[in-house]
Structure 1
Amino acid sequence: MPKAQETVLEIDLKALKHNFEYLKSKLQNGTKFLAVVKAFGYGSDSCEIANYLQELGADYFAVAYTNEGVALRKAGITKPILVLHPQAVNFKTLITYALEPSLYNTKVLKEFIEIALAEKQSDYPIHIKINTGLNRLGFCKNDIDHAVTEIRNTTAVKITSIFSHLAASEDLNEKAFSLNQIESFNTISKKIIEKLTYQPMLHMCNTSGILNYPEAHFNMVRAGIGLYGFGNSHEENKNLIPIATLKTIISQIHHIEKDASVGYNRAFKANSTLKTATLPIGHADGIGRQYGNGKGFVTIKGQQAPILGNVCMDMIMVNITDIDCKEGDEVIVFGQNNTAEQLAETTNTISYEIITSVSQRVKRIFIK
């Protein structure tokens, strides 16, 4: 890959293909593959990622909000797009762009049916979200009969899928809980299907569900973080390749005397002479202030350089006392070797937060 000359996020599409094919290899023939590209493609670029995955054969896409789905349609995505958390104010736009809503309670179901009728829709595809224990979104089992009655009493909508979401699929200590969710989903979905004259798809598994609960693959799975190179366990991380590498350069090197301070609020004070590098990346680019004061690090010439003092909006300073480097040299914030997950562990967070925080002002470069 080319050396960075500024702050860039490099996206390795070969790695994306590897991850897609690895996850797909876990499925039975006929099980559909839904690629989750919400949050700007987990910080990468949803349109570029989705177009490449469409070429590779992804069957479905999912986004969180309607405007994300509109962007995909405008970028040429023709496969079905599930909107996981649509708001009623956007239902008309959702229909205009042939997006498919997740409907998760009586209120949004009624509101969508009203809009679909007003827009003269027939059998418009909807997805019914069931709450089996995550307690975030979804119909509870006591609401199911009423919901199905509403749907059967109109020709405006038709259930394309029934789905739920595993709360702790990556944590095998919670296996009993996950199995209980799967059993609950089976019971509720069968109750719904008994009242229909057609067979909707069923889906429940996220990345960790794909890997840990093959019995719950049903008709389709939803892969998010795994596509971007993280398997939620050290073992599965070995089978996946992080697709994003955040790079920057050394703008300036300073020689700091003992007792001198570095950065805002004099948060770092040198207890001996040392050498620092200033980098053109800061909290406006996704490097949160929690990574300052020695918690976070970057990699220069294969060596870790801790962040000194407070993270600035557009810059960080790092300790390069023992690193042989010069101004203009490349710096890796995270990538395939020193990963976003390793950086996340320094402040007890997760890789998801790191990769989705990369600001859109950072140039994306796609390596094909």
Structure 2
Amino acid sequence: MDWRDGSFMHRCWAVVDLDAFEENYHALRSRLREDTKLLAVVKADAYGHGDQQVARLMEEVGADWLGVACYDEALSLRAAGIRLPILILGHTPVELCGGLAEQEITQAIFSPQYARDLRREAARRGVRVKGHLKIDSGMHRIGFNPLSREEMELARELYEWPELEMTGIFSHFCCADESDEESRAFTRMQFDRFSGACRWLQEQGVDCGIRHCSGTAATITHPEWQMDMVRGGIGLYGMLPSDDSAGIIPLHPAMSLYTVVSMVKEVAPGEDIGYGRKFRTTAPTLVATVPIGYADGYPRCFCNRAKMLIRGQFAPVLGKICMDQVMLDVTHIPGVQAGDLVTVAGRDGEQQITFDELAALSDTINYDRTCSLAPRIPRVYLRHGQVAAVRDYLTCRVR
């Protein structure tokens, strides 16, 4: 199978290079001590790349844990046969504690109320739930307040409750990817606050278990903060959390996005292109239509701003992005015809379009662009340069 063949994937498709994931995994590992664990974050369908395929690879190459956002994501991995320890980083209704226990899924314990409710429900059902204590070190999203003696006393008690098996403690930095002096000072404060909470619990005789606070950004810029485990997120996918961490470790983008030319036509001067007549030709223009649109995750804000690659040259977007189609100016590109491969994100010859560039055009971050790719775009998985699998969400098939 040739993933470059549009007839193989029909209209548009994403290519996920599993070899790049493996290289990125080892690049992050190179920042760690030998005894430091690595949790691979595969929430949000592995940032749009496909959680089961990525999780299976992470299990193969040696990751120690997986991180997800919710119970259903964890359950999906268990159903796929993934046996690595899984940490749910966010909320799970306490009524699902039976499933947490049965599937050996570890739950973030993130507030006094949640801890009490989970304990009560676990006792009612006669189960014991694994947990990691979440500390709010300054982001003010979820977590126990380490500055509250009352909350920290309760945190200490959690480790003694028979309904909970507390095996770790963690926090999350809110600006570790920023290098300005104020952000660096704030991140240092967060680390000090979290490590202080761990130290206080240890002084009370508590075995905190696995301590972790660093994501990709802090793993790259502050390897001395790795503690017992780090959480590899965006770095595993070959993207940087920000330009401030560029050049420190080699990372390779794992995803490319493609479509094909469906039609080419010549449009006379003075004609309007697309919805709302937002682009008017000033000369004879060769217009190529491609079957990808905002319903696929290619946003409307790219109107008259973005470019795609055809035959190694940039083709500017003309007019508004349609739900399922986009028009491109290919006047300057010789020989463009229906069926030609179009690179939406990725490399074509000497030229490249990155998800970082697409993110900048839409005033967002690279994570958002890959997470926004619609389920109807098939994911083609490459291993050792060959098509290893195809995941088609619409037909629920993995080939």
TM-score class normalised by the smaller sequence = over 0.9
For 1:229-308, what aligned pairs fall within 5 Å after superposition?
229-234=238-243, 235-236=246-247, 239-292=250-303, 294-308=304-318
Distance 1:251 1:258 in 2: 22
Aligned match of 2:369: 354
1:317 aligns with 2:327: yes
Which among 23, 30, 49 is matched to residue 35 of structure 2? 30
For 1:89-238, what aligned pairs fall within 5 Å after superposition?
89-122=95-128, 124-141=129-146, 142=148, 143-148=150-155, 150-152=157-159, 154-173=161-180, 174-234=183-243, 235-236=246-247
Once the two structures are overlaid, the 10-residue window that deviates more, 330-339 or 155-164, is 330-339
Shift of 1:194: 2.6
Shift of 1:342: 1.5
Unaligned runs of 5+ in 1: none
Instruction: Describe the SS at the equivalent of 1:335.
Output: strand
Shift of 1:195: 2.8
1:20 aligns with 2:20: no
Distance 1:29 1:280 in 2: 48
Once the two structures are overlaid, the 10-residue window that deviates more, 358-367 or 106-115, is 106-115
TM-score, reference length from structure 2: 0.88
Amino acid at match of 2:104: A
Aligned match of 2:388: none
Instruction: Describe the SS at the equivalent of 1:33.
Output: strand
Distance 1:314 1:237 in 2: 39
The answer to whether the 8 Å contact 1:36/1:224 transfers is: yes
User: RMSD between aligned alpha carbons?
Assistant: 1.7
Distance 1:206 1:311 in 2: 35
Which among 45, 63, 71 is matched to residue 68 of structure 2? 63
The answer to whether the 8 Å contact 1:23/1:210 transfers is: yes
**Count of residue pairs the alignment pairs up:** 366
Instruction: Describe the SS at the equivalent of 2:214.
Output: coil
TM-score, reference length from structure 1: 0.95
Amino acid at match of 2:175: A
Distance 2:122 2:286 in 1: 64
Shift of 1:346: 1.8
The answer to whether the 8 Å contact 1:43/1:355 transfers is: yes
When residues 159 and 286 of structure 1 are mapped into structure 2, their CA distance, relative to the original with a 3 A threshold, is: same
Distance 1:286 1:50 in 2: 23
Q: Which has the higher contact order (CA 8 A, sep 6+)?
A: 1
The answer to whether the 8 Å contact 2:156/2:206 transfers is: no
Once the two structures are overlaid, the 10-residue window that deviates more, 238-247 or 86-95, is 86-95
Amino acid at match of 1:282: G
When residues 107 and 4 of structure 1 are mapped into structure 2, their CA distance, relative to the original with a 3 A threshold, is: farther
Once the two structures are overlaid, the 10-residue window that deviates more, 166-175 or 16-25, is 166-175
Instruction: Describe the SS at the equivalent of 2:220.
Output: helix
The answer to whether the 8 Å contact 1:100/1:126 transfers is: yes
Instruction: Describe the SS at the equivalent of 1:29.
Output: coil
